[in-house]
Structure 1
């Protein structure tokens, strides 16, 4: 790359990350205000501690707002926290990178993992239909393949799948291959009938367990956070803008009492059904942990992955999707603490100056 192109790239990157930090911190301050309205304002000494830690350890005061939010949620300060904009800037680039972005290509999932844990059935990619083994399916056979042993399927679009968007439900009666082509590349999955435990919480949508795993420098995979994502009344699937989150113990799957809204204010029950979570344990939790640990071990190139799992009515675990790029950890870090503290990822901003940095 010529010197002029290199300078232009650096200028572009500088502007891009300044805007990124501005947008993340604007959102963070808004959430912080909601949290403080419920829990009380942070002390000036705590804000100062966050400022100093951000500058001295993370490389810039721009990371202080995230630390302030974590401190407000946690009731104190912890070393090793990775604010949202630090995580998005450095962890995503150096611990996930382009390898993690493969997770956006949903039809590739079964091909990568070769596992029946994923309920993928048929995908549509660049003009052709493929079964779960990447064998071509002719267009006039798609309906038959999809509904041979089931009455309902789910389509997830590659172009609009984040935050519960781009999800469409089909039966044999309303299946129209021409309208599906308009949705673009994506994958069909079996519709999961959830375990009675989750049906009691919210019957309108399928609850998912979000487990986040990380690979340490020795290649060991471990679960770093666990929480339950539950939808609201009248919504057919869990949507990021309205879902509620309940944190769980990453080892045992025991649920906390607090139920968090998306502005991180909390209550003690599901706002629609009144279900109370405290002291209850996620069913088949050990099976969920074993599933994601074994899957992550097959793709250690992606150092951190978020997994969305469902436990069905037969107590089988299904992995609905994986996210290897920018899998947000804000609520888990804030409530549970510095879950990545032992990995050395708070030094990733030094990697360009010190490419021999071990992490």
Structure 2
């Protein structure tokens, strides 16, 4: 690379950084306004603590907006919080690198993780149809394979995020001739969820997001957990409409309050009226044990968000793993700091 090319590259990267931080500043400002409309203005002393920590510890005042959100939600400042834009620009390149991108290629997950816990039943990739073990699958056999256990099946395209790229297909309307209209992705069985979750969202399957981290000594443990619930009009959980309820990372106990997409609190699901307090996620210990073991099998991406479900037989099913820019900001605000012992706040010094 010539000096001129290097200069151009640095200029492009700087412009990208400006856009990235501007976008996060706008997102955080909108969330803070929503939180303060419910709880009142944040104590100026907390705002100052956030601003000082961003500049003095994290090296950039532009990391303050998400810290302000966390402080407004928590009602206090906590040393060790990781702002979402710091996570994206500083932490992820250091602890994931390009290996995090592999999780976007969903048909590779079962082979990489070496597990039958994934709900995968078939794959459609680059015009080829494959079974769970990547063997060729004849189109004439596809309906029998997909709908062996249910009249519905889920298709998820590669690089689908926030519930986008997800289709719920049923036996009656499905035809193998429609494959050509689908992007590459995975077919997964439609899970019959545990009765407790069905009380909250009978129309869509509730998912548990568990975040695990591999440490420098090779250890792996759960850092945060929360429940994602769909609304009455949703066929599946979507980030544009879902509700989040923090779960105790040790026990799976529900927090008393849930949060809407604009970070307003509520004590019960607004569609079914079922309250959050007093509940405990069934099979939670099995869920956490499963994802910790899976992360040990694929440790190169050091921080992973796992989406799991518990079915009507109390069995754990893994829907996907998220090793790109997985969500940490909700857990940081409600349960954090979740990563304070990892030294992430100093990573910017060696970037």
Give the TM-score, by structure 2 length: 0.98
Cα deviation, 1:324-358, whole Å, max 9, x if unaligned, reads 01001111100112100001111111123xxxxxx
Paired position in structure 2 for 1:345: 344
Q: Give me the whole-angstrom Cα distance separating, in 1, the residues matched to 2:192 and 2:330.
A: 28
How far 1:46 sits from its partner (Å)? Answer: 1.7
How far 1:293 sits from its partner (Å)? Answer: 0.4
Q: Would you say the 8 A contact 1:227–1:246 is kept in 2?
A: yes
Secondary structure (helix, strand or coil) at the match of 2:77 reads coil
Aligned alpha-carbon RMSD (Å): 1.1
Q: Give me the whole-angstrom Cα distance separating, in 1, the residues matched to 2:107 and 2:88.
A: 25
Paired position in structure 1 for 2:223: 224
> Aligned runs of 1:316-331 on 2, under 5 Å?
316-331=315-330
Cα deviation, 1:13-51, whole Å, max 9, x if unaligned, reads 100011000011101001101101111211222211111
Give the TM-score, by structure 1 length: 0.95
Paired position in structure 1 for 2:48: 48
Cα deviation, 1:143-192, whole Å, max 9, x if unaligned, reads 23223444221111115x21111111223321122323212101000110
- The range that moved more, 75-84 or 89-98, is 89-98
- The range that moved more, 150-159 or 26-35, is 150-159
Aligned length: 351
Paired position in structure 2 for 1:9: 9
Secondary structure (helix, strand or coil) at the match of 1:192 reads coil
How far 1:142 sits from its partner (Å)? Answer: 2.0
Q: What 5-or-longer segments of structure 1 have no aligned partner?
A: 353-359
Q: What 5-or-longer segments of structure 2 have no aligned partner?
A: none
Cα deviation, 1:273-308, whole Å, max 9, x if unaligned, reads 111111211101100010000000011111100001
Secondary structure (helix, strand or coil) at the match of 2:88 reads helix
Q: Give me the whole-angstrom Cα distance separating, in 2, the residues matched to 1:246 and 1:58.
A: 29
Q: Give me the whole-angstrom Cα distance separating, in 2, the residues matched to 1:168 and 1:265.
A: 28
Q: Give me the whole-angstrom Cα distance separating, in 1, the residues matched to 2:44 and 2:149.
A: 62
Q: Would you say the 8 A contact 1:74–1:337 is kept in 2?
A: no
Q: Would you say the 8 A contact 2:212–2:223 is kept in 1?
A: yes
Paired position in structure 2 for 1:293: 292
Secondary structure (helix, strand or coil) at the match of 2:99 reads helix
- The range that moved more, 161-170 or 121-130, is 161-170
Cα deviation, 1:98-147, whole Å, max 9, x if unaligned, reads 10110000111111112010010110111111111111112333223223
- The range that moved more, 54-63 or 150-159, is 150-159
Paired position in structure 1 for 2:116: 116
